[in-house]
Amino acid sequence: MSWSKLKQQLESFLCPALAGTVEYSSTSYRYLPGKAGQCYLTVDKKNILNMADAATPIRWYETEQEIKNDPNIQVLVSDEEIEAVRRSGGGSIPEERLQVIARSRKQSEHAKLLMLAQNELTKSSFVVTATRFLAASIDQSLESDDILLNILALIDRRVGKKRLINMRQLMKQKHPSVQYFYELRLGL
């Protein structure tokens, strides 16, 4: 599918309140075949979703440790995960350390997923992901670990205010770019 056709379809699903505010843009390097182009989202003509741009207001992580130490990302630990740590330790781990160990393990796993999702934001993956978004249900896009799928679903007109409000806890675990578009949409 050509970029112009894909852009037109994505814009048709855009929330009416964001029309004219959020725009899809693309760059490509015609004479540099080894260099991939990039697609990015702009909000009020300001480049927002582009990892390569140092002026973007979104924080892009370079290490797992940055993600673990970011207070804006909250990782919730379930009782099952604490019980799994208890079983793996053979019952010798003190009770107060179980939650700390379980949270640390989950933060490491979460950090790896965020780093992987962050590294996939090039033009080719944008086109593939956007095409997947257009073919998938809105629920699949919202529940995905893919940053771009989450963003496209959040700014979609099929997601209502009530649903957005109910997703507040889930959004605390997402990448800052997803949180940015969540707050943008919630603020309308």
Instruction: Please name the residue that has the structure tokens 């781990």.
Output: 93
- Given a cut of 60, whether residue 51 has pLDDT beyond it is no
- Given a cut of 90, whether residue 140 has pLDDT beyond it is yes
Q: How far is CA 6 from CA 12, 42, 117, 139, 180, in A?
A: 10, 16, 21, 21, 23
Same domain, 50 and 76: no
The band of 32, judged by pLDDT with boundaries at 50, 70 and 90, is low
Same domain, 56 and 73: no
Same domain, 89 and 167: no
Same domain, 70 and 111: yes
Same domain, 107 and 142: no
Closest CA to 107 of 149, 58, 143, 71: 71
Same domain, 139 and 161: yes
Same domain, 47 and 80: no
| Per-residue pLDDT at 160 | 92
Average pLDDT for 165-183: 89
Same domain, 37 and 128: yes
The band of 89, judged by pLDDT with boundaries at 50, 70 and 90, is confident
Tally the domains of the chain. 2
Domain edge (last residue) among 73, 98, 117 = 117
- Given a cut of 70, whether residue 47 has pLDDT beyond it is yes
Note down the domain range covering 88.
64-117
The band of 57, judged by pLDDT with boundaries at 50, 70 and 90, is low
Same domain, 56 and 68: no
Phi, psi of 114 (to 5 degrees): -65, -40
Same domain, 144 and 90: no
- Given a cut of 60, whether residue 7 has pLDDT beyond it is yes
The band of 150, judged by pLDDT with boundaries at 50, 70 and 90, is very high
Average pLDDT for 139-143: 91
